Chain A
Amino acid sequence: MQGKIISWQGRFKRLAEISKDARLKSFYQQGVPDPFSSLENTEFVALDFETTGLDPTKDDIVSVGIVPFDLRRIRCGQAKHWLVKPNCVLAEESVILHRITHSQIEMAPDLTQVLDEILYALKGKIIVVHYQFVEKTFFHAALMARLGEGIEFPVIDTMMVEKTAIKEHRSWLDWLKRKPIPSIRLADCRKRYGLPYYQPHHALSDALATAELLQAQSQYCLDPKTMVKDIWQ
């Protein structure tokens, strides 16, 4: 997909110009949140998708969870959750994972029907995900398939935050001893901060779990004074 983007501000300006879909155009026109503001003064939104599988070219999104928060509070009252009808077959294995059933999907709207709402919830906030590949590529691919154009946006990836923190704490001795690198799966990261176990694979729970993780990271390995531009990707 995209390489390292030097300036998300510039990129959004450009995307606002070339975008054809009105919803996307307006999303880009809102601009990105202030890249120079510190984490402690930033409004975040944790985003999580459940998908039918792991291949963005074949699989599709089945649910979206969004939880707004800042470094002090996570506001469940403003959380959002959608089930959406994927444009591919819902495989048995994925049903077992996220426990969203065929009949539930039958009743669900298409992603484009709720796109307005989703973009509205994301607008003006820094999006936080755990493992950006899923959210970025699936969102892009899903819209590409439906609207003929994709979507780009900056994220703070709690997985990357964790990876960096681990790297900084790892001594050459650990390396020499081939001490295994700790797992950076969401549940394992949470464990390190004393966060409780949540049943994974529910977009809303996972988004909540991600928000809590960033709060915890901000107290241990992420300086709340850090500017957004230094860690978003």
Chain B
Amino acid sequence: MEVEHQEIANFLEAYPPFTDLPSEALNRLACHVEVSYYRQDSEIFEYGQQITYLYVIRSGAVELLRRSGELYHRISAGGIFGHRGLLMNRKVRFDANTLEDTLVYCIPVDIFDEYCNEFEFFADYFEADDNARLKMTVSKHADSNDMTTAKVTKLILKEAVYVDQNSTVRQAAQVMADEQVSSLLIYDPAKPVIEDPEEDDAQVVGLISDRDLRSKVVAKGLPYDTPVADIMTTDVVLIDSNAYVFEAMMLMLRDNVHHLPIVHKRKPIGMLTLSDILRYESQSSLLFVQGLMEQKSVEDLAHYSTQLSTIFTRMVNEDANSHMIGSAMSVIGKTFKHKLLELAEAKLGPPPIQYCFIALGSMARDEQLLVTDQDNALILDNRYQPDKHGRYFEQLAKYVCDGLANCGYKYCDGGIMASNPSWRLTLDQWQAQFNDWIENPKPEALLNSSIFFDLEGVWGEIKWAEQLTTFVSKKAQNTPSFLAAMAHNALRRTPPLGFFNGFVLEQDGEHKRSMNIKRRGTAPLSDLIRVHALAVGSRKQNSFERLQDINEANILPKGKVLDLEAALEYIAIMRIKHQSWQIEQGDKPDNSLPPETLSEFEQRNLKEAFGVLDKAQSFLKFRYQNKAKMK
């Protein structure tokens, strides 16, 4: 006689596919369950072993790893594993290890098979799931092909092919033929790439393609000994080796370039062509950028912007990491600016003098999410004369800022916008402004202005923005009192951890019983990372890239950079998931995370991540503030 195991049946009943079993079948299944306990960090099974049970986690958490040791999945109570092995030769496909003390219910394979035969939905659940997972494995397997996770360097099939600018077109054509490439980088050997050049230019000075040879040489009947320098395209868009494939693709679609040289520390290392990328499936966010560029008016743009949250949630569901999502959202945000400036110039006429429109804060850091203010400014040519040009730029800035507001980018509360005359300065004025901030760091002034230390050129004379960041990084690095003031700023906001390692929650206001995961998580982390980055003279804007520079500079105790990276990723992704979840619920996304919506596992990880921030803040205090005091 089979006895009823109510505890087991009641539990299974709450999780698919068991939910849909008739209660009699469910009870019978429960009777055949075997139970096993595994303590934290122990192995349940490993790749290739014989497997004869389907595993269901009753309590605890399990990590499934690929053979390569790469993480495949983390699952907790109600999670099912082992079915891939059962369906494929009864051999374990993924190593399974416990992350916590774990109790598993094991369903013998005979019963599993029997139920798969008897109940179609039961079989479908595992097979459908299996297919979906298989697809995922396939795409992950060709990791280099997956543009949501791959960096551009993974797509480099060949080393960069380049000739120096003194070569003739014939020599160039010969090299292209020999190397079977359709484009060639032209570099200037007289332009040495040193560690910290004044300018951000790479060695690459130009690019020629098949088309240039056709239209500029053959069609025009130029002699074959014409130097390549005469026919090359000099306005080359480059991409850093740290960029993700999808960033490269967005750049290509947006700027309509078909060849994108990849540079590592400003040296050319490879060339990406549009066809390299188009071989891979197109992504919604890429098509979105393309579509964005086709809009004809602010109203069109505003209408188009309503899709943004869908793009966001889709990326989250596709398991993109925070850097990718932040970059995609930033590229999209920059494209809005780009497009609005195009429209503004079309309406107001060409600018009387050159200018550069800059993004500040999270957009410059490539860390933008959905809930965001617009922070931007204008750098004007030094020839700027207020009475002559002032009106034009006032109108231009207003047009763009109003347009952005229409597209869902809220006006900045602090008025840090190009529409504010204080933030329309000439390059010299900006430099003087930054010089003043750095030499006379008044903490109160820096509160607002730390946002200016993340800046990126979006449109126009982008070089000026780079000139400014170079200036800032050099100046800041050698000004300890400024670093101390920035460090002080970075300590204003502490992680929401209280005594006994509990979460500290907001007790009043609209978001009662929740924690502001931006204000007390991602923001203080990027503040802290910025201080270290400035201290090591990094010119990177993105926090993850800054961490790489910090790591190379070796200023933090061993392992701390990795900790910070992991903590930032975890907190950022929790923030992203929270917002994505709110969108899917039909709510307005915000940064207030109620801890009770998290699993115990997530809570613990989040606490650990906050713990990293907490320790890093203590270190920051010790390192920069004490130093400044001793001076």
A contact set with B: CB distance below 8 Å: 69, 72-77, 79-81, 193-196, 198-199, 202, 204-205, 208, 211-212, 215-216, 219-220
- Pair B34/A76 contact, Cβ less than 8 Å: yes
Task: List chain A residues, Cβ under 8 A from B100.
Answer: 194
Complex: how many Å from CA A193 to CA B58? Answer: 13
Q: Is A75 a contact of B37 with CB atoms below 8 Å? A: no
B88 contacts the other chain (CB 8 A): no
Q: How far is the CA of A69 from the CA of B103 in the complex (A)?
A: 14
Q: Do A196 and B103 have beta carbons less than 8 Å apart?
A: yes
Q: Is A219 within 8 A of B34, CB to CB?
A: no
Q: How near does chain A come to B250, taking the closest CB pair, in angstroms?
A: 45
Expressed in whole angstroms, the minimum distance between the Cβ of B162 and any Cβ of chain A is 59
Instruction: Please choose the segment from B1-9, B130-138, B315-323 that sits at the chain A interface, where 4 or more of its residues have CB less than 8 A away.
Output: B1-9
Are B101 and A194 in contact, with the CB atoms below 8 A? yes
When the two chains form their complex, are residues A196 and B8 in contact, meaning their CB atoms are under 8 A apart? no
Asked if A77 contacts B101 (CB within 8 A), the reply is no
Asked if B59 is at the interface (CB within 8 A of a chain A CB), the reply is yes
Number of B residues near A (Cβ < 8 Å) is 29
Please state if A77 and B7 are interface contacts (CB–CB under 8 Å). Answer: no
Q: Is the CB of B35 within 8 A of A73?
A: yes
> What's the dominant secondary structure at chain B's contact region?
mixed
CA distance A69 to B33 in the complex (A): 12
Cβ contacts A to B, 19 pairs, < 8 Å: A72-B36, A73-B34, A74-B35, A74-B36, A76-B5, A76-B30, A76-B32, A76-B35, A77-B2, A77-B34, A80-B3, A196-B103, A199-B6, A204-B5, A211-B35, A212-B37, A216-B39, A219-B38, A219-B39
Q: Which residue on B lies nearest to A192, using beta carbons? A: B101
For B35, list chain A residues within 8 Å (CB): 69, 73-74, 76, 208, 211-212, 215
B102 contacts A208, CB within 8 Å?
no
**A215–B60 contact, CB under 8 A?**
no
Nearest chain B CB to A99's CB is how many angstroms away? 11
Q: Give the distance to chain B from A31, nearest Cβ to Cβ, in Å.
A: 28
Binary CB contact string for chain B from 45 to 69 against chain A (1 if under 8 A, 0 otherwise): 0000000000000111000000000
**B31: Cβ under 8 A from any A Cβ:** yes
- Give Cα A205 to B9, complex, Å: 11
Q: Which of B6, B8, B31, B42 contacts A202 (CB 8 A)?
A: B6
Chain A residues with Cβ below 8 Å from B397 are none
User: C-beta contact mask, B1-41 vs A, less than 8 Å → 1, else 0?
Assistant: 01111111001000000000000000000111111111110
Residues of B within 8 A of A (CB): 2-8, 11, 30-40, 42, 58-60, 77, 100-103, 106
List, in ascending order, chain B residues with CB within 8 A of A196's CB. 11, 58-59, 77, 103
Least CB separation from A193: chain B residue:
B101
Q: Which of the residues B5, B39, B42, B101 comes within 8 Å of A208, measured between beta carbons?
A: B5
Residues of B within 8 A of A80 (CB): 3
A216 and B34 within 8 A (CB): no
Q: How far is the CA of A216 from the CA of B31 in the complex (A)?
A: 21
Give the Cβ gap from B209 to chain A, nearest Cβ, in Å.
62
New A-B contacts (9) at CB < 8 Å, excluding given A76-B34, A77-B33, A194-B101: A73-B34, A73-B36, A76-B35, A80-B3, A194-B103, A202-B6, A202-B7, A205-B5, A212-B35
What chain A residues lie within 8 Å of B32 (beta carbons)? 76-77
Q: Which residue of A lies closest to B59 (CB)?
A: A196
Q: Which residues from A are CB-within-8-Å of B102?
A: 194
B600 to A, closest residue via Cβ: A194
Chain A, Cβ-Cβ closest to B34: A73
A161 to nearest B CB, angstroms?
A: 14
Question: B37 near A215 (CB under 8 angstroms)?
Answer: yes
Q: Is the CB of B37 within 8 A of A76?
A: no
Would you give the shortest CB distance from B133 to chain A, in whole angstroms? 27
Is the CB–CB distance between B36 and A215 below 8 Å?
yes
Name the residue of chain A whose CB is nearest to the CB of B61.
A194
Residues of A within 8 A of B101 (CB): 193-195, 216
Closest CB-CB distance, B33 to chain A, in whole Å? Answer: 5
CA distance A208 to B105 in the complex (A): 12
Q: Is the pair A193, B3 in contact by a Cβ cutoff of 8 Å? A: no
